[in-house]
Amino acid sequence: MAQINPFASLVMLISASIASSLLSGYETVAVLLLVLIVPFFFNVNILKVMWSMKVMLITALLIFLFSYFGKGSLLSSISESAKFLSVIGLSALYIKKSDLIDLATTMGSILSPLLGKRGRKASSAVMMTLALFPIIFSTATEMMNARKSRGGSFLYHPIKSITEYTVSMMRLLFQKVVIFQDALYSRSWTTGGERTKVVLGKRDWVLMILAFILLIGFVLWKKVF
């Protein structure tokens, strides 16, 4: 699926989050079952997707356990876990389906009327952080492999090994961040600077209106029934 305008994605994310917070326990379980079953009809390997989200699944499991042992209600605990997964999943989709640079530009456009230049600086910081994730992961993996190939192991003197590794990695990362920053500046990017606004296409408008209509419809349905 082609990229969606970040503003449209944000509207859909907020609508889905509001709808999700209004769901009752049974409704949440029904939605969760739909989320697990529907992908089979689109040849999506849901187990593979879930494995790639194992950190979120572990967190959801912890939420379930704490809720269950705290409140004693199985349905309520499942509901809370499911809501967490839906919000995090939608947020991940929002980031994945929106271009990183467009995301930051749109955030800046939304925040700048409220916070002025600070709003755009905040969005620049978000963009830098998201852009640096792949660099951080590749640097960390490279260093770990280099150490392993020289017989290094984190199991032997773990605190010393991890400290050395972290310090070396931070030093290397700072160097890469400086080069990255220079590369951005050399293409006239500035922290908090204004950029050409991201355009909303027809499909983005349709998705936003649809999300809004579904949300209003859902709220009314909840009130009536």
Partner 1 sequence: MSLLSVENLSFSIDGTKLLKNITFSLEKGSLTLVAGKNGSGKSMLLKCLKGLEKPDEGIIKVNGKVLKREKERMKAFGLVFQDTSLEIVGSTVRKDIAFGLENLRMERDIIQEKTNRMVSLFALEKIQDLPPSVLSGGEKRRLSIAGVLAMEPEIILMDEPLANLDYPSVKMVLSTLVQLKEKGVTVIIVSHEAEKLLSLTDNTIILSEGRLVDMGRSKDMMGALRDNEVYLPPKAVFEDLTWLK
What are the E-state strand segments in the chain? none
The single residue among 58, 75, 183, 213 that binds partner 1, judged by CB under 8 A, is: 183
DSSP codes joined into one string, 6-65 = HHHHHHHHHHHHHHHHH--HHHHHHHHHHHHHHHHHTT--HHHHHHHTHHHHHHHHHHHH
Q: Kindly tell me which of 66 and 185 has the beta carbon lying closer to partner 1.
A: 185
Q: Kindly tell me which of 24 and 52 has the beta carbon lying closer to partner 1.
A: 52
Check residue 62 for interaction with partner 1 (CB under 8 A): no
Check residue 18 for interaction with partner 1 (CB under 8 A): no
Distance (Å, whole) CA 35 – CA 28? 10
Q: Nearest approach, Cβ of 183 to partner 1 (angstroms)?
A: 4
Check residue 143 for interaction with partner 1 (CB under 8 A): no
Q: Kindly tell me which of 147 and 195 has the beta carbon lying closer to partner 1.
A: 195
Check residue 189 for interaction with partner 1 (CB under 8 A): yes
Contacts with 67 (C-beta within 8 Å, 6 or more apart), sequence order: 73, 76, 77, 80, 81
Q: Nearest approach, Cβ of 116 to partner 1 (angstroms)?
A: 17
How large is the greatest C-alpha to C-alpha distance in the chain, in angstroms?
68
Question: Token pair of 140, please?
Answer: 């960390």
**Residue numbers of the site for partner 1 (CB under 8 A)?**
3, 99-101, 105, 131, 135, 138, 176, 179-180, 182-190, 193-196, 199
